[in-house]
Amino acid sequence: MSSLSHHETYLYDSKTFANQALSSPQNLAAVLDHTLLKPDATRNQVLQLCHEAAEHRFACAMVNPTWVQLAADALKGTGIPVGVVIGFPLGATLSASKRDETARVLKHGAHDVDMVLNIGLFKSAAAADYEAVKQDIRGVVELAHGAGAIVKVILETCLLTFEEKLRAAELALSAGADFLKTSTGFSTGGATVDDIGLLRGVAGSRAGVKASGGIRSLADTSAMLHAGASRIGASASVKIVNELAGSESGPVSNNGY
């Protein structure tokens, strides 16, 4: 990378990445965060999620904090990481609470930490507010990186203007985010092709871009990958890989993600 020009280090080849991801069900599974975040998810449903994540070799099994230990135990020895959401779904948790929650889930075995931007504070738009949002993210990033984990910052793009999306993306990157993520899946809208393109344009090759919220089919997934997503969050992950394999099975999951 050091031999590349400054401009070249920011290039990201969405077409090549998408074609590779869509070349086989196994490759596609490797970019899907298999997700179960509905509030009424039960122990058995979380265990089923973990079983499916291990069977299909998904990028991670994404759960709410209360289930991290269960998921880590279920996935032990499989090589499949546990993902967890922090400050979810509003982002309005105290920074100290986000850090405490992060420290605890890391201790219980989480590897992918998807935290929600403090949206209201960000939209307040004063310089001090932007700095507070940056420090909110950085506090989580420092803990995660110190434990060898990664952080995806959920911007909740449906609540932001075009200019706010650009600023939020740059702010998250400056705070050390490993991924820019579109949505919680619990607000007024989910991922869009336009937002993925915008976030990839900001991130270049500096960070990943995760599309989440409303992605329920292979067509949805393909569109997001070609727009620049490098990770997909979905509860319909099994259906999506089965579509690619030509053996679509079961109804579409509709549990808010």
Backbone angles phi, psi at 254, to 5 degrees: -135, 70
Give the C-alpha separation, 46 to 59, whole Å.
16
181 is catalytic: yes
State the DSSP code for 109: T
210 is catalytic: yes
Q: Of the residues 33, 112, 114, 178, which is catalytic? A: 114
Three-state DSSP class for 40?
A: coil
Contact 122, 164 (CB under 8 A): yes
Give the C-alpha separation, 117 to 94, whole Å.
11
Residues 6+ apart with CB under 8 A from 92: 118, 119, 120, 121
What is the token pair recorded at 133?
């949002």
114 is catalytic: yes
Q: Of the residues 98, 152, 165, 210, which is catalytic? A: 210
Q: Of the residues 181, 195, 220, 239, which is catalytic? A: 181
Give the C-alpha separation, 9 to 3, whole Å.
9
The catalytic residues are 114, 181, 210
